[in-house]
A and B are shown apart, each in its own frame.
Chain A
Amino acid sequence: MLGGWPPPVLDPAGPFAGPVTVVAWVLFVMGAVVLAVVLIALGVALFGPRKWKRRVGGERLVWIGGLAFPVVVLTGLLIYGLSVTARVSDAPRDGEMRVRVTGEMWWWRVAYLDGQGRETVQDANEVHIPVGRPVVVELESADVIHSLWVPRLGGKTDMIPGRRNFMRLQADKPGVYAGQCAEYCGGPHALMGFVVVAHAEADFEAWRARQAAPAAASALPGAAVFGASGCGACHTIRGTEANGLAGPDLTHVGSRKTLGAGILPNNQGAMAGWIADSQGIKPGNRMPSYPVLTGRELRDLAAYLDSLK
């Protein structure tokens, strides 16, 4: 399992997670205060002196404590909460980096966009960002409602079929930040993890250049196994004949942090296990297990995919 998972939810690492954490604490403290007041009133009503009981039993208290107070407090909290989160979720402005993340059952399709919203680079299950500046994530769904949540970098935001929501992520320091689908989306929903990798600016540009390049031609025997097994019907490896769109783009799969959407570490062993028995590891996911390969073929295939850095 990826280090840092499950991610801490009250430990913000950027300016869009900070306000959400503050809102969470304000709501929690307000709730605690109101609970304490109600319990004290209840104690007085049950066990207090007769004079106090008469006071908490009066109609005036119901009007004030039961109607006026909640209306004022909840309205205030609503305005406060909306003012804090408005900056987090409005549409992209000129010059902001844009990434589209599309929720699929049960993985994330990722595309980096240019200023006009055209796709420049495809990836899956992880988003790479430069540190210190906001990145607008455009959230869509290909099937059911999902929700993208990277607790240390931003608020949880739903992906709703037919809609486009926005969220901003920003990391103050380079690092790997774990995320998770936070809206039940069927079957292996709990195994729909996500990763944000924050780089220093120069490292990010180098990563983007590598990611945009097609895969180099490979003489590894696994490349032939990949073709003969029909993997290309669902997966694209840019630079080869594999051009399927149903599953994640594998052009640089060997450089990803995880396999199976944030659930397995990425090495040849986990890759082989995933290919051979993806249904045993993530039951119900859309990739069939492949119990048709010899040991050598399986190993060659894993070595080939691992080489796609």
Chain B
Amino acid sequence: MGKIGAAVSAVGLLGLAACADKAGAPRDLAGADPAEGLRLVRTQGCGACHAIPGVAWPQGRTGGSLAGVGARPMIAGRLPNQPAIMAAFVRDAPSLLPDTGMPPMPLSEAEARDIAAYLYTLDDD
């Protein structure tokens, strides 16, 4: 199944535009800036817990690698990997998963969307 097929089935399942195409941010993240997201990922220290393509150091081990996170069906193995959920999870993970070890991060909604947009560029292409 190609990218179009994947996109069609995601739309069919959830009524959302999926992010199978790297060229544009998913519709839920319209206006979000992946480059700004990468800058935030670096300055917020996300690498303290995650190995993240684009971040040379640190490559944390606590939260698992984010390589290919954009293509994974689930977030943290528990939540559907949808852009709005990703943005909410980046900003306040415990509100979605009360037992997670990932603390809420001091980010605005717009900043969280930028970070989510960057994470969706990590799709193992």
Interface residues of A (CB under 8 A from B): 1, 3, 259, 263-265, 267-274, 276-277, 280-281, 293-296, 298-299, 302-303
Whether A280 contacts B44 by the Cβ 8 Å rule is no
Chain B interface SS verdict (over half) = loop
A268 CA to B101 CA in the complex, in Å? Answer: 11
In the complex with contacts A1-B43, A267-B106, A299-B94, A281-B101 CB distance below 8 A: no
Contacts of B99 in A (CB 8 A): 294-296
B102 is an interface residue with CB less than 8 A from chain A:
yes
Q: Which of B3-11, B20-28, B60-68 lies at the interface?
A: B60-68
Q: Which residue from A264, A293, A294, A302 sits with its C-beta under 8 Å from B103?
A: A302
Return chain B residues, CB-CB under 8 Å to A299: 94, 100-103
Asked if A3 and B98 make an inter-chain contact with CB atoms under 8 angstroms apart, the answer reads no
Within 8 Å by CB of A268, from B60, B63, B100, B105, lies B105
User: Once bound together, how far apart are the Cα atoms of A277 and B51, in whole Å?
Assistant: 13
- Given A265-B43, A273-B62, A295-B100, 4 new contacts (CB under 8 A): A259-B45, A267-B44, A295-B101, A299-B100
Could you jot down 23 A-B contacts, CB within 8 Å?
A1-B43, A264-B45, A264-B48, A267-B44, A267-B103, A267-B106, A269-B49, A270-B44, A271-B103, A273-B62, A274-B48, A276-B101, A277-B60, A277-B61, A280-B61, A281-B58, A293-B101, A294-B101, A295-B100, A295-B101, A295-B102, A299-B102, A303-B103
In the assembled complex, B104 has its CB within 8 A of some CB on chain A = yes
Among B42, B43, B46, B48, which residue has the most Cβ atoms of chain A within 10 A?
A: B48
Task: Point out the residues of chain A lying under 8 angstroms from B49, CB to CB.
Answer: 269, 272-273, 276-277
Residues on the B chain within 8 Å of A280, using CB: 58, 60-62
Q: Hey, which chain B residues are within 8 Å of A293, CB to CB?
A: 101
Cβ contact within 8 Å between A273 and B43: no
Interface size bracket, B side: 20 to 34
Please give, as numbers and ranges, the residues of chain A lying within 8 Å of B101 by CB-CB distance.
272, 276, 293-296, 298-299
Contacting residues of chain B (52-75) with chain A, CB-CB under 8 angstroms? 58, 60-63
With CB as the reference atom, state the residue of chain B lying closest to A282: B58
Q: Are A1 and B42 in contact (CB under 8 A)?
A: yes
User: B100 touching A273 by the CB < 8 A rule?
Assistant: no
Closest 3 CB pairs of A and B: A273-B48, A295-B101, A268-B103
Closest to A263 in B: B58
B44 surroundings in chain A (CB, below 8 A): 265, 267, 269-270
